[in-house]
Amino acid sequence: MNHRIVVLGAGYAGAIAAGRLAKRLRREDVHLTLVNAEPDFVERVRMHQLAAGQDLKPRPLADMFQGTGVRLRVDRVTAVDVEAKTVALKSGDELAYDTLVYGLGSAAADHGVPGVAEHAYELASRPGALRLRERLAELGAGARVLVVGGGLTGLEAVTEIAETRPDLDVALAAREGLGGWLSGRGRSHLRGVVERLGITVHERAAVERVEAGGVVLEGGRAVGADVTVWTAGFAVHPIAAASTLEVSGTGQIVVDATMRSVSHPDVYAVGDAALAMGPGDKPLRMSCASGVPVAWQAADAIAARLTGRKIPKAPLRYFNQCISLGRRDGLIQFVTADDRAKGSLLKGRTAARYKELVCKGAVWGVAHPTLGLPVRRHRMEREAAAEGRAVEATA
Ligand SMILES: Cc1cc2nc3c(=O)[nH]c(=O)nc-3n(C[C@H](O)[C@H](O)[C@H](O)COP(=O)(O)OP(=O)(O)OC[C@H]3O[C@@H](n4cnc5c(N)ncnc54)[C@H](O)[C@@H]3O)c2cc1C
């Protein structure tokens, strides 16, 4: 019987893993199934654009995987039994596997803050972004929108909303200082953009609870809002933690350097769902930036083990943080391998164009899972860094 590989989740990580496995293995040797709850590929990195009213290109998974040998199954995973090696689906069907690739991604994390589920909007998922889009469209001039979360998603969301709707009164609540992890020049560019867009920033503002009319900060200060947008991090779905897989305190599957579960060698985890260690022995953060190379790594390791070849190593390191600041501005903060800001950066329109290229490149990578993305990335990196030096020299 063919070796049965079941890939769960067709986000960036799962879709790339499935496509790469299809290219690396012979169709007569494997039976490759990709399960996803929705029929199309969702560009999660553009959810703030969707929420702000932009329309995204539909990307049906059936078209993307046509002719690849990957069998697409649109269904929702409800449970995984890693002892019986089966996956339960919402339709009532059950899939048996020999190798499982778990890539179910993540959703918005409320961190147990009261009122988030009842009163806040999120944009970590497409349904969430669409709900927020609808609500923003209802708002009249002067209505107050508060984005909670000063991380990458919060910055992208607050600037996108403020740029699209200059008639709104837009604010950001950040637990730390604004862009505190960026380089000095990165922080000052961010501050300039935020001022230009008229965004009020509440720094060192930890939200204690969300209410219908805004939030209450630690210390008791209230910040009023007609719409509160919650972007304070991601949490994984509870399916892995409900199985006998070894998971971390965050519910992510603990894996080795080949993305193989440390407790169940026939299970691999990729993307946000995996707890993988990166350079400096730091866990890779939930991101597309690390989700893509770990998907290459998992697929290559599976293919190598099944065919008796040497396991190649994907570059599990960071190069940059790409932050859109509306459609016409951005910030590309170059970072060390373990994600700490370096002095070099790109900003303004150059950065906005670079970020757009990265987003397009990520989708391209899903459709072309084996075609030398690391090489393109290094080249882009060198070109952008060269351009960045020129930009900085004239700034
Ligand atoms: C607004 C926003 C901007 C971002 N910007 C960036 C950025 O600039 N750079 C960056 O590196 N990262 C960014 N991220 C983070 C990035 O989007 C995620 O880290 C990335 O999508 C994770 O990829 P993944 O494949 O693990 O999961 P996902 O992309 O979440 O994909 C998971 C897939 O699994 C499916 N699924 C989930 N549950 C089930 C189930 N029970 N049954 C069947 N299918 C299921 C989902 O439908 C989805 O297709 C951003 C995120 C957001 C929300």
Mean pLDDT by 10 residues, the chain (395 residues): 94 97 94 97 97 96 94 98 98 98 97 97 98 98 98 98 98 96 97 98 97 97 98 96 97 97 98 94 92 95 96 87 97 95 95 96 82 43 42 24
Residue (of 34, 28, 18, 25) closest to 87 by Cα position: 34
User: pLDDT per residue over 66-87, tens digit each?
Assistant: 999 999 999 999 999 999 999 9
Asked if residue 238 and residue 224 are part of one domain, the reply reads: no
- Backbone phi, psi, residue 34, to 5°: -115, 120
Asked if residue 247 and residue 212 are part of one domain, the reply reads: no
Q: How far is CA 217 from the centre of its chain?
A: 27
Largest CA distance in the chain: 65
Distance separating alpha carbons of residues 386 and 381, to the nearest angstrom: 8
Q: In this predicted structure, what is the pLDDT of residue 359?
A: 95
Residue 251 lies in a domain: yes
Asked if residue 145 and residue 72 are part of one domain, the reply reads: no
Task: Find the 44 Cα to ligand 1 centroid distance in Å.
Answer: 5
Asked if residue 382 and residue 366 are part of one domain, the reply reads: yes
Q: CATH number for the domain including 39?
A: 3.50.50.60
* Domain that includes residue 172, residue range: 116-230
Residue 248 lies in a domain: yes
Q: Which residues contact 267 (CB under 8 A, 6 or more apart)?
A: 82, 99, 100, 101, 102, 245, 253, 260, 261
| Domain count of the fold of the chain | 3
Task: Find the 304 Cα to ligand 1 centroid distance in Å.
Answer: 27
Can you tell me which atom of ligand 1 is nearest the CA of 287?
19
Contact yes or no for 234/272 (Cβ under 8 A): yes
Which of 307, 328, 353 terminates a domain? The answer is: 307
Asked if residue 185 and residue 156 are part of one domain, the reply reads: yes
94-96 and 207-211 strand pairing:
unpaired
Asked if residue 87 and residue 65 are part of one domain, the reply reads: yes
Residue 315 lies in a domain: no
Can you tell me which atom of ligand 1 is nearest the CA of 286?
19
Asked if residue 294 and residue 333 are part of one domain, the reply reads: no
Task: Find the 105 Cα to ligand 1 centroid distance in Å.
Answer: 5
User: pLDDT per residue over 187-224, tens digit each?
Assistant: 999 999 999 999 999 999 999 999 999 999 999 999 99
Residue 255 lies in a domain: yes
| Cα Rg of the chain (Å, integer) | 21
